[in-house]
A and B are shown apart, each in its own frame.
Chain A
């Protein structure tokens, strides 16, 4: 908590002085430093190996972008890692503390007012996890049940909106992180856990007894997850767009997916075992930075 508030306070103070930090290429040329925003535990997208080292699918894509940024800046760049959280990532990008954010940020219309996104590299599906023996198979059966989600995520918002359409009422309970939300489901305090499919799959895979849980029901929403850069930073956005398009066209993104989601990854050499979804394949076939709202229209 303290960290978040501190970061917000810094963001609020530095917000006034952000105007001169808009052009990352010029900044990198002058200082020789570029700051990458990373997440400590966003599954295989971005996670820490300890000792200030970070890895993951998005981190690796960002490294490709930065390699092209080096070419544009014409000098070797030192990459600084700045861990960010759900609470502070947007202010930190806006005020120039972070030049390129490589975590697991959903590209939506509200955020596009504040920041810009590279083409979508990962499309997440929000799903429902329940105990295999619970008899719950659809959203309609969640009426009157306790539904867990993690504080500081948007997943339950989709269920809430869905709820109105289907006319069902449920109790929202919040875990303070994904591990605790899963514990709510495991200990019976919650009947369902609503979250991104990859996170649910990861938690189930590492639970004591994976066969006790299953993913059920409709896909609540699809969320384009993308790398975030400053708004009005046209030069870096162009480099990033070109890099992602090139990676998508050459089939490199599919290889990176295989490397991070299908093969054993460090530090524990465990497999996430998450197959690439149709919506992610569609995003690769036709790279774009459309916000979540445009996916919902389909």
Chain B
């Protein structure tokens, strides 16, 4: 096996090197993943919370339908539907850039999974927490805001870390709808340069670095928001 790492310094024909192209591709990967993450967490938190609301059966049903719709269809199929099918049915979507469609597809797909975690986190709390909030004279919204959600979010931080790392890796499907991200760069550049192994190794390293960075950020947040004695080892919740 002979290595040829200078391949990254070659011109791709349009005046930029493969290295520059790879970093552009990395930016696309991070942009897709970052934007989708914002949508996924906002929507996921909302839908997950709604699913635990007392006395609102219809809103709960709609939120349940959201989760089942977005987590039962493969992400690649969802992307394809957003990119090719929706614009045919609603011509307005032809004007929407592919980037936004991918961000929403990935964001909604991940939101269904985060919603499940949020629901599980809320339901893991003892019922007494809710009653305590009500006994203080809080409205339902205030109970969620000041009592339930702060505890639930601390509980779900570890699975949320995994989900965020998954989102970053899932962003590789964006290549299927013409986003010039890392996976697409790898497939295209290795064909143009015939140095696939070097290219794939470099791309692998960038994915690993990015996902590990997400992991470290979450580990930091977890340490900062930790309340000693709140989540007991063994996972019995906040008793």
Residues of A within 8 A of B (CB): 1, 4-5, 8, 11-12, 15-16, 86-88, 90-91, 110-111, 114, 148, 151-154, 157, 160-161, 163-164, 172-176, 180, 183-184, 187-189
Contact = CB atoms under 8 A, between A and B. Distances in A.
A188 to B, nearest CB: 7
A152 B13 contact: no
B113 to A, nearest CB: 21
Contacts of A188: 94
Given A152-B187, A157-B192, A180-B176, A16 B200 contact: no
Interface of B: 1, 12-15, 83-84, 87-88, 94, 98, 172, 175-176, 178, 180, 183-184, 187-188, 190-194, 196-197, 200
A1 B192 contact: no
B196 A91 contact: yes
A50 B166 CA distance: 35
B84 A164 contact: no
B8 to A, nearest CB: 15
B184 A151 contact: yes
5 contacts: A4-B187, A151-B175, A152-B190, A157-B12, A163-B14
A173 B14 contact: no
Contacts of A88: 196
Contacts of B88: 187
Nearest to A108: B194
B74 to A, nearest CB: 14
| Interface-centre pick from A114, A152, A153 (highest chain B CB count, 10 A) | A152
A153 B172 CA distance: 19
Nearest to A158: B13
Nearest to B191: A152
A4 B178 CA distance: 19
Contact of B84 (A91, A161, A176, A187): A187
B86 to A, nearest CB: 11
A7 to B, nearest CB: 10
B98 A174 contact: no
B194 A111 contact: yes
Given A5-B200, A180-B176, A87 B190 contact: yes
Contact of A187 (B15, B87, B200): B87
Contacts of A154: 191-192
Given A8-B200, A151-B187, A174-B175, A110 B193 contact: yes
Contact of A161 (B1, B13, B193): B13
Contacts of B197: 8, 11-12, 91
B191 A110 contact: no
Contacts of A189: 83, 98, 178
A64 B121 CA distance: 66
A160 B175 contact: no
A110 B192 CA distance: 10
A8 B196 contact: yes
Contacts of A15: 1
A183 B192 contact: no
A40 to B, nearest CB: 16
A175 B178 contact: yes
A17 B88 CA distance: 53
A81 B191 CA distance: 23
A76 B87 CA distance: 57
